[in-house]
């Protein structure tokens, strides 16, 4: 096991660790061949530009809360996790069922948690990383002991399927992790470093309108569908991710060679390729689900983590770097020392 003698929080009273993880994607597959019959596109064009071959689409009466509940149920079933005493529940999403109440409140109600602080977090595709960082800090401070963090989106509900530049990208899914206070004396911290930031001037590059018809002084599309300037989002990602990764490494004194697994937001395979080339990180050390699930926004990172944990790719002590970015424009990165999970026999 690797030794990581540093912590992301110098004022930390307690440590937290991930003790269980779950995921869910809807049954329906939307393939590139399906999209060829809907808009002017083809499989070769989509794969070459995005790396996506298919994506999952929620049923008409299946919403973000349902995706969350299925992911949490898988977590509980696989790891025997007790949920009654969860006292913090955070859902990172851009597609809540309602403006209010929060999607997190519906998850709490379904599982009957008794004393839970529950809320949604709006940070687009960085929502899961933001939620994980926040939950770790709340546990570290002593205010909470047990947290559920969920990244979930049903982007198909807000996708314009007449716009070939966006409809090829997005899918639906959810991933959830359980964080608990770690009172053991035989392990170092799991959360090693955090970085994050915002460029609100880039808000018009990817958004979905609700009430306003202007942003940053300029008119916006008020259709209620997801709007994206892919070129600008690409530029933001390939410029921001290497800087953020370097910040995480400088905080910990590590080099890119020490990163066992890089888990970027799965927006587009071209972005992942470009960032890995800039950082000198081999593609074989990345975890993503872009080919089969597309861009599931806040769910991409936990979906990739859950798959890697289930397939036993993640080993005890592995250094894992999570990095999310998206609408805002925002970004967030976490450096973890992976702790082995214990599924039920």
Catalytic (active-site) positions: 125, 265, 295
Give the integer Cα–Cα distance in Å for 17 and 190.
6
Nearest to 299 by CA among 147, 140, 129: 129
Other CB atoms within 10 A of residue 92 CB: 32
DSSP 85-110: T--EEEEE-SS-SSSSS-HHHHHHHH
From residue 302, give the alpha-carbon distance in Å to each of 11, 173, 186, 245: 27, 10, 26, 19
CA–chain centroid gap for 273, Å, is 19
* Phi/psi at 243 (5° precision): -65, -45
Find out whether 152 and 23 touch, Cβ atoms under 8 Å. no
In angstroms, the first-to-last Cα distance of the chain is 24
Where would I find the beta strands (DSSP E) of the chain? 15-24, 28-31, 54-57, 88-92, 117-121, 146-154, 172-182, 191-198, 206-207, 214-215, 218-219, 227-228, 261-264, 319-326, 330-337
Residue whose structure tokens are 């995005």: 50
Give the up-direction half-sphere exposure of residue 192: CA atoms within 13 A in the CB hemisphere: 28
From residue 147, give the alpha-carbon distance in Å to each of 10, 44, 85, 239: 21, 43, 9, 33
Find out whether 125 and 294 touch, Cβ atoms under 8 Å. no
Give the integer Cα–Cα distance in Å for 131 and 91.
7
């Amino acid at each position: 096991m690797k030794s990581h003698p540093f912590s992301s929080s110098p004022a930390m009273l307690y440590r937290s660790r991930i003790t269980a993880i779950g995921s869910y994607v809807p049954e329906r597959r939307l393939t590139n061949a399906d999209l060829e019959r809907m808009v002017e596109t083809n499989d070769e064009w989509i794969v070459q530009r995005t790396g996506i071959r298919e994506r999952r689409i929620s049923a008409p009466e299946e919403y973000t809360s349902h995706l969350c509940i299925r992911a949490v149920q898988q977590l509980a079933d696989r790891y025997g996790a007790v949920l009654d005493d969860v006292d913090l529940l955070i859902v990172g999403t851009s597609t809540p069922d309602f403006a209010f109440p929060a999607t997190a409140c519906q998850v709490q109600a379904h599982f009957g948690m008794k004393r839970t602080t529950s809320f949604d977090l709006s940070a687009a595709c960085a929502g899961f990383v933001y939620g994980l960082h926040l939950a770790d800090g709340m546990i570290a401070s002593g205010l909470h002991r047990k947290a559920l963090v969920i990244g979930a989106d049903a982007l198909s509900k807000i996708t314009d399927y007449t716009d070939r530049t966006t409809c090829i990208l997005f899918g639906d899914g959810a991933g959830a992790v359980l964080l608990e206070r770690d009172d053991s004396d035989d392990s170092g911290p799991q959360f090693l470093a955090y970085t994050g930031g915002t460029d609100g001037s880039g808000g018009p590059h990817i958004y979905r309108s609700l009430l306003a018809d202007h942003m940053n002084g300029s008119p916006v599309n008020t259709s209620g569908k997801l709007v994206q300037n892919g070129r600008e989002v690409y530029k933001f990602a390939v410029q921001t991710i290497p800087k953020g990764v370097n910040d995480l490494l400088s905080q910990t004194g590590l080099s890119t060679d020490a990163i066992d697994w890089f888990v970027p937001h799965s927006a587009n395979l071209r972005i992942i390729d470009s960032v890995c080339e800039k950082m000198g990180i081999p593609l074989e050390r990345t975890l993503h689900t872009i080919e089969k699930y597309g861009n599931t926004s806040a769910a991409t990172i936990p979906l990739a983590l859950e798959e890697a944990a289930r397939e036993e790719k993640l080993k005890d002590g592995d250094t894992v770097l999570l990095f999310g970015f998206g609408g805002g424009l925002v970004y967030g990165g976490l450096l973890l020392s992976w702790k082995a999970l214990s599924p039920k026999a």
